A and B are shown apart, each in its own frame.
Chain A
Amino acid sequence: MGESDIFAGLASVLPPERILGSEAARRVYAHDAYTVDRSAPDVIVLPETTEEAQAVIRWCLVHQVPFTPRGAGTGLSGGAMAAKGGVILSTKRLNRILQIDIPNRRLHAQAGVANLKLSQAVAAEGFHFAPDPSSQSVSTLGGNIAENSGGPHTLKYGVTAPHILAMTWIDNAGEVRTWGTGVEGGPGPDLLSVLVGSEGTLGFVTEAWVKLTPLPARVETLLASFPSVVAATETVAEIIAAGVIPAALEMMDRNILVAVQAAFGLEVPAGTEAMLLVECDGSPAAAQAEIEEVFAICQRFGAIELKLAANEAERKHLWTARKKGVGAMGRLAPTVVTHDGVIPRSKLPEMLTFVYEVAEAERLGVANIFHAGDGNLHPCFYFDDREPGVVERVVRAGERILTKCIELGGSVSGEHGIGVEKVDFMPLMFSEADLALQGDVKRMFPTSEFANPCKVLPTQKGCVEHQRRWRGAAH
């Protein structure tokens, strides 16, 4: 079915102004933040209600047109890419907060509401939505659910799954379902936890009830500069081993700091090779005691400079490098590809050394900015994609890093999912029997070859040729 037929067909179920099909729109929606692979959709639809989304999905199923959910497109694994063309089902207009229930510490919102808006809506009441991916100003609730997103404060508050109480979603047979209740931990198998993190392949989430967490009474923020990456990573290991659970424990290496210094005028003490951003929160006494312990550990491991935020303005300033680091990377090169892998945290020193070795061998620039406390790495390779052969080297470097993550007992994705990028890595991490079990988990839910094809599990029908085409197109 051609794009004009799809456009005309969908116009029978959705007002035409909410269907996009221009060349420019199709190009914008051809990829997410994983920019190496591209595949343009035929049309993009913007439903405003669960019923409208259901009508689109049903139309696609009847007419055998592939459809792919998409939030803000900040994912790093091509999860929001229309792998076989067809329809992008965007949550952009599912952007309303439906109910705020402060007495019961919960909030009901549509899937397209930006993560930060949830917290802003309840901040005056002293609450927040705890998962806070670095993309939180744009990334959506639906996208966070799909990828089981983390963020700097995951270390203490957990990933997205424990913060989701209930969801309304449309399965891949086009039925609307509501799962979960107002309280967590009800009896029965934990199906909600399977749905969260399934990368939008089991269904399309349109609404969710989320848990609200009280804002901490006190927050202490410390920025520590270290003369070597090893000293910083060893400090991380020691903080964890000492039994402190900071709210956040983030690391940035020299190349990130250079970019942030150029972009935002961040002061970096001479001789700094890495910085740690540590936040402790809780009751005033607990936060104070924890930050003092962290302070002492940093000193013991040779920190050059330790800056403790005295007030909220200073705290925000200390967070600048971490929050704006990836954006500032644009200063270093025209193209940036950020990877996402996890390892047991005690392996951080070994893993980072490996990342630098790979970058050198592949002649690529690399900067590291990541959730050190979780062992969740984000090596950012920066390059000029007009240089012949550079994309192959970037892809190869990523593959070597992910292989090492598996070798060290970690995972190929911490918070961005498998998408299309990492499908080939699944057999490295899981045996045939393991993947067969995952296939059966998928088949517990209604399936359709047209629902978000070519994601997560390898050996899906007709995906190999598509993959060759994307990578070919990218070179």
Chain B
Amino acid sequence: MIDFSPADQVVEVGAGMAIAELQSLLGAEGQCLPLPDPAEWGAAAAGYPGTVGGLLACNLPHGYMAACGMPRDWVLGAILRRPDGTEAKSGSRAVKSVAGYDAHKLGVGAWGRGLRYVRVILRTYPTKGLPTMSIVQSAPVQSPVFIQRCLRSDFDSVLRQTPGVVAHDPQTQVIWSQERPTTPPKAG
């Protein structure tokens, strides 16, 4: 951890820090990243077992997504390593900023391709403000899993047709399954 200001609800950490470790450091000040506890919910539905950099690179759905958004919504800035090895900063410690092109968003969901996170600046959440989850768990959620998101109007039928469902969230229409979904993804 490079810097943590609970009063600002902003933390700057090395991208290699384990999320579990970060959660315990933030927790000491009543703050957290709004991700469910993997011990309780299974690694996949919690959205992590790994590092901060991995969390952003994967940008996976999780149980608090409806109220707190996805990891992409928490990243305020970063120091990034480019493929040629040089490093550059993007964003700031302010909770909102429109200053140039948000290069720090390019690593989100990119699975480590292109830009890599060296350090990231994240907004944190008060632990006491965490919402109640609406995940329905039907079996222990293990990694790896298949994750689907669909339109609200398709949710019931997709859920029925998906084999090996281990959890689903009616609020965000996310389905976690142990088997590969048979329904082809729909456009729109």
Contact = CB atoms under 8 A, between A and B. Distances in A.
Interface string B96-131: 111111110111111001100000000001111100
Contact of B96 (A241, A415, A433): A415
A342 interface: yes
B127 A414 contact: no
Nearest to A405: B94
Given A158-B69, A198-B101, A344 B89 contact: no
B90 A437 contact: yes
B87 interface: yes
Contact of A103 (B106, B125, B129, B153): B153
Nearest to B114: A189
Interface string A245-264: 10000000000000000000
A350 to B, nearest CB: 13
A191 B109 CA distance: 10
B112 to A, nearest CB: 11
Interface residues of A, number: 68
Interface in A133-180: 147-148, 150, 154, 158-159, 161-162
Interface stretch (A22-30, A305-313, A423-431): A423-431
Main secondary structure of the interface of A (DSSP, over half): loop
Interface string A10-54: 000000000000000000000000000000000000000000000
Given A185-B61, A190-B109, A431 B88 contact: yes
Nearest to B110: A189
A35 to B, nearest CB: 20
A401 interface: no
A351 to B, nearest CB: 11
Contacts of A457: 100
Interface stretch (B6-14, B36-44, B135-143, B176-184): B6-14
Contact of A441 (B61, B99, B103): B103
B150 interface: yes
A345 B98 contact: no
B72 A193 contact: yes
A132 interface: no
Nearest to B89: A434
Contact of A437 (B72, B82, B108): B82
A159 B96 contact: yes
Contacts of B7: 237, 240-241, 345-346
Interface in B71-95: 72-73, 80, 82, 86-90, 92-95
Q: Which 3 A-B pairs have the closest CB atoms?
A: A243-B126, A411-B97, A342-B94
20 contacts: A154-B96, A185-B61, A186-B149, A189-B108, A194-B106, A197-B102, A202-B101, A237-B7, A243-B128, A243-B129, A245-B126, A344-B93, A345-B8, A345-B95, A376-B94, A414-B97, A418-B99, A441-B103, A442-B101, A457-B100
